[in-house]
Amino acid sequence: MNIYPTQLKVLKFSYCFTSILESGNSPVFLGTFGNLEAQAMGPIQSTPFARSPAEGPNSSLYYLSLKGVTVGNRRLPFDASTFTLRGDGSGGTIIDTGTAITTFPLAVFRTLREEFVSQVSLPVADSSADDADSMLCFSISEYQNATAVPRLIFHLEGADWDLPWESYMLHVHGDDDGNRLCVVINSARDSGMTTIIGNFQQQNMHIAYDLGSNKLSFVPARCNKL
């Protein structure tokens, strides 16, 4: 689902994606935000939209100012320039409802992956061990339902998006590689590619687009209750 204001003819809209493990509908509000405080599970935060390309296929996308990423208690060694839109239209950070999984440039992904390996006390699954550019999964026992995982925070301009663990970790049970706990983050396979915040990371988050005020607001919420 990609939402474009030129199609909707509205300056305000919001959505709240229910968990992929649930069968309920995800509410969408057009011309209003519904009630951001309804079913909220934390404070409402806001961040301004960043400059987008003046023309071309990416001109209708929603760009944000991503300043950095923290895994656990360690901020990754990348400054805001890593995630900034370049003069040739490459790079930048977008929030996208039509992309399933958040994707980072290759160098950022590799460092993020290394941090999870160093901070999670589980063995890396065989399918993940030999490819440093693939999605990271850990092996877990059949009856292991929870383990300590580091926090994942996206530092935006004026806001810190502290993701709940179910918005970046996924239990995969009983496949050919055994039971696994996977970090649901992708690599763009190129260090100069656009960073995309995908819809898996937007689960159970009420996200509001105020195009008139040029800002995005978000708050953790019980989306299935809205």
Domain containing 194 — which CATH number? Answer: 2.40.70.10
User: Are 137 and 172 spatial neighbours (Cβ–Cβ below 8 Å)?
Assistant: yes
Range of the domain at 45: 5-53+78-225
User: Are 196 and 99 spatial neighbours (Cβ–Cβ below 8 Å)?
Assistant: yes
* pLDDT tens per residue, range 138-159: 998 766 655 689 999 999 999 9
In a domain, 71, yes or no: no
State the total domains in the chain. 1
Question: Locate tokens 């360690």: which residue?
Answer: 74
In a domain, 62, yes or no: no
Kindly report which listed range (2-16, 81-95, 150-164) carries the lowest average pLDDT score: 2-16
In a domain, 66, yes or no: no
In angstroms and rounded to an integer, the radius of gyration of the C-alpha atoms of the chain is: 18
Q: What is the pLDDT of residue 212?
A: 92
Question: Averaged over 127-146, what is the pLDDT?
Answer: 77
Kindly report which listed range (64-73, 76-85, 95-104, 176-185) carries the lowest average pLDDT score: 176-185
Q: What is the pLDDT of residue 182?
A: 94
In a domain, 129, yes or no: yes
For residue 83, the tally of other CB atoms under 10 A from its CB is 26
How does residue 184 score in pLDDT terms, banded at 50, 70 and 90? Answer: very high
In a domain, 61, yes or no: no
Mean pLDDT for the chain overall: 87
Query: Both tokens of residue 216?
Result: 């995005």
In a domain, 68, yes or no: no
Spatial separation of the C-alpha atoms in residues 104 and 195, rounded to whole Å = 5
Q: What is the pLDDT of residue 42?
A: 87
How does residue 224 score in pLDDT terms, banded at 50, 70 and 90? Answer: confident
In a domain, 69, yes or no: no
Quote the pTM value: 0.89
* pLDDT tens per residue, range 22-50: 777 888 888 877 777 777 788 999 999 99
Q: Is the pLDDT higher at 12 or at 176?
A: 12
Q: What is the pLDDT of residue 59?
A: 66
* pLDDT tens per residue, range 105-123: 999 999 999 999 999 999 9
Q: What is the pLDDT of residue 134?
A: 86
In a domain, 106, yes or no: yes
CA 18 remoteness from chain centre: 14
